[in-house]
Amino acid sequence: MPSRWTDLDRPPLSARALAAGLTGDGALWRDVRVVERTGSTNDDVAAAAREGVPEGLVLVAESQVSGHGRLGRSWVSPPRAGLTFSALLRPGDAVPPSRWSWLPLLAGLALHRAVVRLAAVDAWLKWPNDLLLGADRRKAAGLLLRADAGAAVVGIGLNVSTSPAELPTPAATSLAVEGADCTDRDPLLRGVLRQLGEDYLSWRSVGGDPDASGLRAGYTAVCDTVGRQVRVALPRGGELAGLAVGVDDDGGLLVRDAAGERSVTAGDVVSVR
Ligand code: BTN
Strands 130-133 and 74-75: unpaired
Query: What is the DSSP code string of 143-165?
Result: EEEEEETTEEEEEEEEESS--GG
Instruction: Report the pLDDT averaged over residues 92-112.
Output: 95
Provide the pLDDT for residue 245.
97
Separation of CA 71 and ligand 1 centre (Å): 11
pLDDT band of 71, cuts 50, 70, 90: confident
What is the distance between the alpha carbons of residues 100 and 138, in angstroms, rounded to a whole number? 28
Separation of CA 265 and ligand 1 centre (Å): 18
pLDDT band of 7, cuts 50, 70, 90: low
Contact 159, 115 (CB under 8 A): no
What is the pTM for the complete model shown?
Answer: 0.95
Q: What is the DSSP letter of 127?
A: T
Smallest Cα–Cα separation from 261: which of 272, 271, 252? Answer: 252
Nearest CA to ligand 1 atom 15: 68
Separation of CA 138 and ligand 1 centre (Å): 17
Provide the pLDDT for residue 1.
45
In sequence order, what are the beta bridge partners of 34? 60
Percent of the chain with pLDDT over 90: 89
Separation of CA 198 and ligand 1 centre (Å): 22
Atom of ligand 1 nearest to the CA of 67: 14
* pLDDT beyond 90 at 266: no
**Which own/partner pairs from 208-211 qualify as long-range (CB within 8 Å, at least 24 positions apart)?**
208/91, 208/94, 208/95, 208/96, 208/99, 208/100, 208/102, 209/99, 210/99, 210/102, 210/247, 210/249, 210/251
Cα–Cα separations (whole angstroms), residue 18 to 24, 39, 223:
12, 22, 30
Instruction: Report the pLDDT averaged over residues 33-39.
Output: 98
Q: What is the per-residue pLDDT across 105-149, written as a single tens digit (0 to 9) for each? A: 999 999 999 999 999 999 999 999 999 999 999 999 999 999 988
Provide the pLDDT for residue 127.
96
Ramachandran assignment for 248, one of left (phi > 0), alpha (psi -120 to 50 degrees), beta (any other): beta
Separation of CA 106 and ligand 1 centre (Å): 16
Provide the pLDDT for residue 4.
43
Contact 117, 136 (CB under 8 A): no
Provide the pLDDT for residue 219.
98
Residues with Cβ < 8 Å from 74, sequence gap 6 or more? Answer: 66, 67, 68
* pLDDT beyond 60 at 3: no
Mutation test of ligand 1: which of 125, 156, 268 has the most ligand atoms closer than 8 Å to its C-beta?
A: 156
Mutation test of ligand 1: which of 75, 127, 268 has the most ligand atoms closer than 8 Å to its C-beta?
A: 75
What is the distance between the alpha carbons of residues 139 and 159, in angstroms, rounded to a whole number? 9
Separation of CA 122 and ligand 1 centre (Å): 22
Separation of CA 180 and ligand 1 centre (Å): 22
**Which own/partner pairs from 70-73 qualify as long-range (CB within 8 Å, at least 24 positions apart)?**
70/142, 70/144, 71/235, 71/266, 71/267, 71/268
Determine the distance from the C-alpha atom of residue 237 to the mean position of all C-alpha atoms in its chain, rounded to a whole number: 25
Nearest CA to ligand 1 atom 2: 142
Atom of ligand 1 nearest to the CA of 68: 14
User: What's the chain's average pLDDT?
Assistant: 94
Cα–Cα separations (whole angstroms), residue 260 to 193, 263, 265, 270:
39, 10, 16, 20
* pLDDT beyond 80 at 88: yes
Contact 84, 75 (CB under 8 A): yes
| Ligand 1 pocket, residues with Cβ under 6 angstroms | 40-42, 67-70, 73, 75, 84-86, 130, 142-144, 155-157
Separation of CA 86 and ligand 1 centre (Å): 8
Q: What is the per-residue pLDDT across 141-179, written as a single tens digit (0 to 9) for each? A: 999 999 988 999 999 999 999 999 999 999 999 999 999
Q: Which of 65-74, 176-185, 188-197, 260-269 has the lowest mean pLDDT?
A: 260-269
